[in-house]
Chain A
């Protein structure tokens, strides 16, 4: 009898461990390195989404306002996660959200925004991903908080509850 109980128990034990690890995987946590010095924003020019004009960075980031530039794409799954937080940030008065549509198709991007609503005040197009390189972005999604033409915070990965309140704290 003893012979059968031990195998069953150990298999059961490992199943539980497996289940817990499996659940833990769904809760990924993201790492945000601190950039401890302020960096000038890069200068670039980009096409505006659904319009046939091109703007350069001087025309986009003006005045004393806070800007959040958010690198996103319709094919990027974690971008959907952070979308709610972007919608909440849209309501902040002294913050403008600029989207940088990364390696995307215009049609897919429009569908994405129609489905989840548009949090952006302006959307720039980065068809071949070169503007994101200028910014030093590692991937999508990624966001940069900008004040007076300087990057004051870089967020790698989707914005979550904590980062949302941190941004809220900075701009107020």
Chain B
């Protein structure tokens, strides 16, 4: 029954789209006032999508296996929480969530822009409706979450156990808020171009939307990364997996866009940057959806290998790209009054320089992600691009990037000089000395690491100083930049000081090395709600003679029958101890992986700080100086 209601609700929702478009066009031509009917229909559409979404959740909760999506992704023994999160843990349901956020955001946009130009609001709505209709048709035609199966199966196939996890249950909704938020930026940029209204006022208004999407995208990526850290059991937090990359690319574009908008807010330059980045951000988000949903890539995120879906998204994606190109080339008339004379030492130059660095990082990731696909098509050669590629191309360029990030905010708009900037220089010296002292006793490449770490320290010191000297001035910017320096430093130290031991142990055996002693005490078996688990107990004594017990698990889920390895992580302010165990086929010993990972918690904390800066910026009254 909930499936039936949900299914019809979707159709009504699509119907609303056509009504909205009809009234919008009529209103656009004939009247000077915004027609309130349009708003009502938008809210009605939102209501239909909400009903449909709750219909799906309800079908999952009551385990209605006559619904194909529920049958494929649920099971009666699954805990209630995962029954609910299972609703968007699959291809069909997650698209419905996309649609929900799309309609939610356009409704908020309409409610929030009462003071804006009528034509601008209507055009944004129209472009947004194009996207919404695309998703409606995609869902109803190729990925209907309410397909009916007869005879009704007695039991479902179950949700992939590695997805049965709290972080992963909220990761998709948060990430989608970020992705879909960029759709508003896209529609609004197209509308502003059509009306030739790419101006300071527009920048001020769209900045909020950019911030909202940016905050959610940052948090979404963070959650995914935390999940990968403890669930996949490799002990890393970023693997340069294509699917991770497709979420990082819109993030970089969005971050750059935000900085450009800050400039546009002050003076009418960088308009083309803002427009192109607005289009790029959404295109990259959609491109991510395409890569993940079409089955071109393989990863835990790949839901279904259905070429029909791939073709649909591909055509839809490129229609949007061509629409954007068309408007950009034929409607958009940049102001002829060029104020493009940048003084070499000014805030806007620093932002421009960092924009180019960001674009470089973006291109590296884009090429690393897409190139294997292109090569496969053109020459049937299969290659895989791994972390070394990204590290080699990105890390050296972080150095000037970090320096510019530290110095840039210290400069004035339009024109600046270096008077009273002596501290900039002295901090550089302090950072260099500090990092060389850290590096000198380690057996790693001295020069590169010292420069890299000192540029991290440099940003760290400069931003820390600002908290004391400038107090609340530019607080948001300072928090985010401080967070970024902390992030870079934690990642670097994490990389340098991590250690790993992989060994095979039987119960009762002890592993000794000069840093650590691992004693395998016992294994116990237990039963969970929908799995059986084997728990190992390990006593660990590290070089500082601190004793700890780690209890990694092996879970054997009943539906589908999959073994997952649950890491046990002892989190500490300075370092994490991380342990996983695995069965070795036909043997009575276990494969043990023990890792010592310094500063892990700081990586998570620093990313939270970065997004917190965004949050402050969103709520403060005064804009950046």
Which A residues lie at the B interface, using CB under 8 A?
6-7, 10-11, 14, 18, 20-31, 33, 35-39, 128-130, 133, 136, 138-139, 157
Contact = CB atoms under 8 A, between A and B. Distances in A.
Given A7-B325, A25-B294, A136-B559, A20 B155 contact: no
Contact of B374 (A20, A36, A38, A129): A20
Contacts, number: 79
B232 to A, nearest CB: 13
B314 A14 contact: no
Interface stretch (B257-265, B352-360, B409-417, B560-568): B560-568
B298 A29 contact: yes
A26 B373 contact: no
A14 B318 contact: yes
B561 A133 contact: no
In the A-B complex, the 4 residue pairs with the closest CB atoms: A7-B329, A25-B310, A31-B298, A23-B377
A27 B307 CA distance: 9
Contacts of A21: 290, 296, 314, 373
B233 to A, nearest CB: 13
A133 B583 contact: no
Interface of B: 72, 151, 153-155, 157, 290, 294-296, 298, 302, 305, 307, 310-311, 314, 318, 321-322, 325, 329, 373-374, 376-378, 559-563, 582-583, 585
A36 B322 contact: no
A128 B305 contact: no
Contacts of B307: 25-26, 28
A24 B296 contact: yes
A73 to B, nearest CB: 14
B321 A14 contact: yes
19 contacts: A7-B325, A10-B325, A11-B322, A18-B314, A18-B318, A20-B374, A24-B373, A25-B294, A25-B307, A25-B314, A28-B295, A28-B307, A29-B296, A35-B561, A36-B582, A37-B585, A128-B153, A129-B153, A133-B153
Contacts of B155: 133
A7 B290 CA distance: 25
A56 B590 CA distance: 36
A31 B310 CA distance: 17
Contact of A37 (B72, B325, B563): B563
A136 B318 CA distance: 38
A14 B325 contact: yes
A160 to B, nearest CB: 12
Nearest to B151: A128
Nearest to A138: B157
B151 A157 contact: no
A36 B153 contact: no
B314 A22 contact: yes
B378 A20 contact: yes
A22 B373 CA distance: 11
Contacts of B311: 22, 25
Given A27-B376, A28-B296, A133 B157 contact: yes
A94 to B, nearest CB: 21
Contacts of A38: 585
Contacts of A14: 318, 321-322, 325
A6 to B, nearest CB: 8
Given A21-B296, A24-B373, A133-B153, 8 more contacts: A7-B325, A11-B322, A14-B322, A20-B374, A31-B298, A38-B585, A136-B559, A157-B305
A136 B374 CA distance: 35
B561 A136 contact: yes
Contacts of A6: 329
Nearest to B321: A14
B426 to A, nearest CB: 47
A11 B325 contact: yes
Contacts of B310: 25
A27 B381 CA distance: 12
A20 B563 contact: no
A24 B154 CA distance: 38
Given A36-B563, A136-B560, A24 B305 contact: no
A93 to B, nearest CB: 26
Contacts of A128: 151, 153
Contacts of A130: 153-154
A139 B90 CA distance: 15
Nearest to A156: B305
A11 to B, nearest CB: 6
A11 B561 CA distance: 49
B490 to A, nearest CB: 33
A19 to B, nearest CB: 9
B332 to A, nearest CB: 11
B250 to A, nearest CB: 17
